[in-house]
Structure 1
Amino acid sequence: MFNLLRNRWRQFSARLRHERDPERTGRLTGIFVATAAGAPMHSLECTQALVDQGLADDRYALGRGFWRLTDGCQVTLILAENLQAIERQHGLPLGAGQHRRNLVISGLVGVELRHRQLRIGEALLAWHRLRPPCGYLDRVSGSGMAKALGRHGGHCLRVREGGLIQVGDRVTLV
């Protein structure tokens, strides 16, 4: 019951913040790519977002990801604050990309992203849908990872305008 009330409060406060400050911003704190399904994630300082493909050198853009065609994401995103909470609560290491998401951002609330576009560096990305963790995550990152991420598994984005993105870039809701 407490979690339900807390989540509703977060959604309500995010709406209030948006009404007061429609141009909310956050920061890009991490970029991760893998060259193939199950390959280790590599941290990058910068990369190119490719229109209707994903991130350069990532499994999704290269067509080497583990997904069904109807379930694929061009770019995946997760919130740094959620990762920190999961690390504290479950004791799982997540700083080296074990979460298997491409972008890590801080300073925004997940509900703020829904049905919006995000400007990150030169790129414009559109929110597509939630990205819950799947059982494959446990096989690649270790048992219990999917359950730990739970409903904070992230978001799928589509690249609408390509360009360079770099760690430290401002993330602006459009």
Structure 2
Amino acid sequence: MMPGSLGRWLRRLRGRPAAGRLEAILLADNAGAPMQAVDSTVAIAGRGLEGDRYAAGTGWWHATDGCQVTLIHAEHLARAARKSGLDVSDGRHRRNLVVSGLAGVELRGRRLRIGTALFAWHRVRPPCGYLDQVSGRGTAKALGKRAGICLTVIEGGRLNVHDPVHLKKGSEPFS
């Protein structure tokens, strides 16, 4: 049990729906291709993001370990850059969506509404050695365990950079 006012504050905070912001959308049309920033895209239910390697089935580990959509926190990218000196701001992190304002929020078991699309947390997506091959030596280590998560597209829809990101527990309806 947490002492005093800190414990009360944390209990109140946990009960609030979390919200963040979509900072970037990045797509690559096939495995190893450079990530391209776009202002808008369409999420396709059960597949991924239109124009991206995962939706097309051409991602590096698509057949055995693929994700429909990958997400990383802007705050984790800033931390990785600060600690390593590497520039990961231009998509070298190889994640599709960059969000801010949610770095301290547990996403496991949650659903995310971004634009008109609905996503569900699927699993953690730590970096692998392939990231160093396409983005430069030391990138995977710099990003560490916080290199992102995999999402499943539950309901398709349009996403735009700067859209709000709303979170709910898996069983809570969106209103």
Q: Which runs of 4+ in 1 moved over 3 A?
A: 13-16
Deviation at 1:98, TM superposition (A): 0.4
Shift of 1:110: 5.4
Residue aligning to 2:42: 48
- Report how far residue 14 of structure 1 moved: 7.2
Residue 18 (structure 1) aligns with = 14
- Deviation of 1:24 after TM superposition, in Å, equals 1.1
Identify if the C-alpha distance between structure 1 residues 33 and 15 changes in structure 2 by more than 3 Å, giving closer, same or farther: farther
Report the CA distance between 1:133 and its aligned residue: 0.3
Report the identity percentage.
57
Query: Bigger radius of gyration, 1 or 2?
Result: 2
More helix by share: 1
Distance (whole Å) between structure 2 residues aligned to residue 82 and residue 90 of structure 1: 12
Q: Is the 8 A contact 1:38 1:140 kept in 2?
A: yes
Shift of 1:109: 2.6
Quote the residue 1:141 is aligned against: 135
Shift of the alpha carbon at 1:95? 1.3
In structure 2, the residue matched to 1:8 is none
Provide the residue aligned with 1:97 in structure 2: 91
Instruction: Name the Cα RMSD after superposition.
Output: 1.4
What is the TM-score of this pair, normalised by structure 2? 0.88
Structure 2: 5+ residue stretches without partners = 1-8, 169-175
Q: What corresponds to 1:118 in structure 2?
A: 112
Residue 66 of structure 1 deviates from its aligned partner by 0.1
Cα distance in structure 2, aligned partners of 1:155 and 1:110: 14
SS in 2 for 1:113: coil
Cα distance in 2 for partners of 1:70, 1:100 equals 18
Contact 1:14 1:109 in 2 (8 A): no
CA deviation map 1:125-168 (0-9, x unaligned): 00000000000000000000111111111000000000000000
**Distance (Å, rounded) in 2 between the aligned partners of 1:74 and 1:170:** 20
Which of 125, 137, 146 is 1:131 aligned to? Answer: 125
Q: Is the 8 A contact 1:14 1:111 kept in 2?
A: no
In the TM superposition, residue 112 of structure 1 has moved relative to its aligned partner by 2.0
Q: Distance in 2 between matches of 1:38 and 1:15?
A: 44
The TM-score normalised by the length of structure 1 is 0.88
- C-alpha separation in 1, matches of 2:163 and 2:111: 15
Give the aligned partner of residue 63 of structure 1: 57
The answer to whether 1:151 aligns with 2:165 is no
The residue type equivalent to 1:112 in the other structure is E
Deviations 1:64-101 (A, max 9, x none): 10005231100000000000011111011111100000
